[in-house]
Structure 1
Amino acid sequence: MNRIHLIPYRIEEIITVAPQIPEGVRMIKAPEVWGKAEGGQGNVIAILDTGCQSNHPDLEDRIVAGRNFTPDYSNDEANFEDNNGHGTHVAGTAAASLRDGGVAGVAPEAQLLILKVLDAKGSGDYAGIIEAIHYAIDWTGPRGEKTTVISMSLGGPDDVPELHEAIKRAVTAGIPVVCAAGNEGDSSPDTDELGYPGAYREVIQVGAVDFNRKIASFSNTNDEIDLVAPGVNIHSTYLDGQYASLSGTSMATPHVSGALALIKNIAEKEFARNLTEAELYAQLVRRTVPLGYPKTAEGNGLVELDALEKIEQFFGLDNRGGV
């Protein structure tokens, strides 16, 4: 069986200073709903990646726990430090703290469960990833916290039944699973470009757009694309307390993972109850706008977190009528 890997990505630039609210976070209109969503507070986003720099100034207050599922650091399960850079970048986009001198993530008050499933070279085995998914489902934090979103910017060619079953278990438990579409796109929306776990129907598969709202040339197209998010020249946290601009559907994915933490707070407050995974997905889709591309490229469209509120204000509607 093939190993599973990081979705290939580009490092555009490594910098010491980045914009406090990156353009990608602004593009999906996260700041517009931070107040209503309490910044995602109370949610835990499980990041399955290369680990995370645990003492990065923008992330140290966000990390609630972590575990290593790779042979790195002599198989030390307690050491989930990032020795690649990708995981730190993804974690920052999802939930970096809003603070002076740093960059904010989409849900800057959410917490992060860091599950290192890929080694320094960005490679991992399916068994470790499957184990990490089950771990995220069963995990309980020091104050009773539970995982509310699973984010995976990784992929491989194999449809592994045990991986599929783990994902279906997460969804049944009410946990949305957000996955990158992949970066093997050939700009032809008529050709299916599939990687797993992104191609599973149960996951929320994310393609990438640039800041001009154009589908990124590298973004995979297939029948299972659910939506798109910013994935080109994305500023976020990086190793050694620095910042970097990276491109790939890997970068689009945590925008959606963070968005779900915000949506969960907004919607569950409005409906005065916990929502199922299917209901959370419906609320996410209601906060997308079409871009005019085929469904195989953009799915339901670009995430814009204030889209539903704008419609309701325009028509004088109340969102409580149904999920």
Structure 2
Amino acid sequence: MNTEIILKPVKIVELFKVLNVVPDNLDKIRARELWEETDQGSGSVVAVLDSGIQVDHPSLKDNVIDGYNFTDDDEGNPIIYQDYLGHGTHVAGIIAAIDNGRGITGVAPKSKLLILKVINHKGRGSFENLIQAIMYAVAWTGPNGEKVNIMNMSLGSPEPHEELYKAIKYARSKGILLVAAAGNEGDGESDTIEISYPGFYKEVVQVGSISETETPSKFSNTNVNLDFVGPGENILSAHLNSNYVELTGTSMAAPFVAGAAALIIKMVNRSRPHLIPMYVYEYLLSHALPLENFSINQVGNGFIQLK
């Protein structure tokens, strides 16, 4: 069985030292319209299972609450979860970059990030590390009693894995919403199926990518379990060396949903924690913009909207 997870290198579209144009994706998903009501996600904790983070990035450093390294990078030192790819830093920025006047802001800029590094500097990881990270996230408690509300997994493998599935179900039973990228193996055809795990598991919110003109991205995996689509092409976010770059992929679409969930979770009934993922999903479902010209295999329940 293939037990390896591989992050395919994502092409850097453009590198920005100074930003002159503010991206409009937050307005496309109507995120700012919930900021006042949800205090921009304050109190929500999103676990980012990825390649780590640039810990001192000016747009991110204030929102990193904790982290752990599950890879062999830095001789396996668990407290060094530095990002050497830029992928995890970019994903984290989409979720929770602070509004510091530099031009990018996350969907939930007051939420906190638990950085769980499961992908090494070569872009490789294992199911075993991913399982460990999921279980760590469930058990984690922050300095003020915080718990993980959401997990973002912008990664995947074509092979299912029974122990991973058990961990996924366990995390969801504890009230954690799990979000994953659909994968970038698509061929642009709606009737061919491409599957990536953990996204394909029904307990996970599987997110595909749409273009700036709200059409399905050619590379985005299509399958019957696709839940929603989010912006995934030419997405501007944080990157290594305190820079900002545009990247493309379903890896970028998933954190828009994770960030959205960090806002929504502030508004749902939290008296029964194990039902929180269902309440958040219902909110996403009731507000999604149907893209009726396309197959549900391509767009799922539609383009996420927060209002």
TM-score (norm 2): 0.96
Equivalent residues in 2 for 1:214-253, closer than 5 Å: 214-253=215-254
CA contact under 8 A between 1:45 and 1:112: conserved in structure 2? yes
Specify the alignment match of 2:207 in structure 1.
206
Q: What is the distance in 1 between the residues matched to 2:95 and 2:145?
A: 21
**1:279 to 2:279 alignment:** yes
Specify the alignment match of 1:106 in structure 2.
107
User: Following TM superposition, by how much is the alpha carbon of 1:102 offset from its aligned partner in structure 2, in angstroms?
Assistant: 4.3
Specify the alignment match of 1:25 in structure 2.
26
CA contact under 8 A between 2:232 and 2:248: conserved in structure 1? yes
CA contact under 8 A between 2:35 and 2:263: conserved in structure 1? yes
Specify the alignment match of 2:7 in structure 1.
6
**1:256 to 2:254 alignment:** no
* Superposed CA RMSD: 1.5
User: Following TM superposition, by how much is the alpha carbon of 1:276 offset from its aligned partner in structure 2, in angstroms?
Assistant: 2.4
Q: What is the distance in 2 between the residues matched to 1:145 and 1:132?
A: 17
Specify the alignment match of 1:321 in structure 2.
none
SS in 2 for 1:135: helix
**1:48 to 2:49 alignment:** yes
Q: What is the distance in 1 between the residues matched to 2:25 and 2:277?
A: 25
For residues 105-160 of structure 1, give each alpha carbon's deviation from its aligned partner in whole angstroms, at most 9, with x where no partner exists. Answer: 00000000000000012110111110000000110001101000000000112111
CA contact under 8 A between 1:50 and 1:118: conserved in structure 2? yes
CA contact under 8 A between 2:9 and 2:123: conserved in structure 1? no
Specify the alignment match of 2:94 in structure 1.
93
SS in 2 for 1:303: coil
SS in 2 for 1:194: coil
Q: What is the distance in 2 between the residues matched to 1:133 and 1:19?
A: 38
Judging changes above 3 Å, is the alpha-carbon distance between structure 1 residues 170 and 304 closer, same or farther for their aligned structure 2 residues? same
Where structure 1 has 5 or more consecutive residues not aligned to the other structure, the ranges are: 307-323
Q: What is the distance in 1 between the residues matched to 2:221 and 2:177?
A: 21
Sequence identity percentage: 45
CA contact under 8 A between 1:10 and 1:247: conserved in structure 2? yes
Q: What is the distance in 2 between the residues matched to 1:256 and 1:54?
A: 23
CA contact under 8 A between 2:67 and 2:79: conserved in structure 1? yes
Where structure 2 has 5 or more consecutive residues not aligned to the other structure, the ranges are: none
Give the stretch that moved more between structures: 277-286 or 156-165. Answer: 277-286
CA contact under 8 A between 1:7 and 1:182: conserved in structure 2? no
Judging changes above 3 Å, is the alpha-carbon distance between structure 1 residues 21 and 30 closer, same or farther for their aligned structure 2 residues? farther
Q: What is the distance in 2 between the residues matched to 1:145 and 1:76?
A: 24
For residues 78-116 of structure 1, give each alpha carbon's deviation from its aligned partner in whole angstroms, at most 9, with x where no partner exists. Answer: 000101100000000011111212410000000000000
User: Following TM superposition, by how much is the alpha carbon of 1:195 offset from its aligned partner in structure 2, in angstroms?
Assistant: 1.1
For residues 140-188 of structure 1, give each alpha carbon's deviation from its aligned partner in whole angstroms, at most 9, with x where no partner exists. Answer: 0011010000000001121110101111011111101100001111111
CA contact under 8 A between 2:177 and 2:276: conserved in structure 1? no
CA contact under 8 A between 1:7 and 1:154: conserved in structure 2? no
The amino acid of 2:188's aligned partner reads S
Give the stretch that moved more between structures: 193-202 or 9-18. Answer: 9-18
The amino acid of 1:289's aligned partner reads L
SS in 2 for 1:67: strand
Give the stretch that moved more between structures: 57-66 or 271-280. Answer: 271-280
Judging changes above 3 Å, is the alpha-carbon distance between structure 1 residues 285 and 18 closer, same or farther for their aligned structure 2 residues? farther
Specify the alignment match of 1:116 in structure 2.
117
CA contact under 8 A between 2:268 and 2:279: conserved in structure 1? no
User: Following TM superposition, by how much is the alpha carbon of 1:19 offset from its aligned partner in structure 2, in angstroms?
Assistant: 5.7
Specify the alignment match of 1:126 in structure 2.
127
For residues 274-316 of structure 1, give each alpha carbon's deviation from its aligned partner in whole angstroms, at most 9, with x where no partner exists. Answer: 552112211121120101211111111001111xxxxxxxxxx
Judging changes above 3 Å, is the alpha-carbon distance between structure 1 residues 246 and 283 closer, same or farther for their aligned structure 2 residues? same
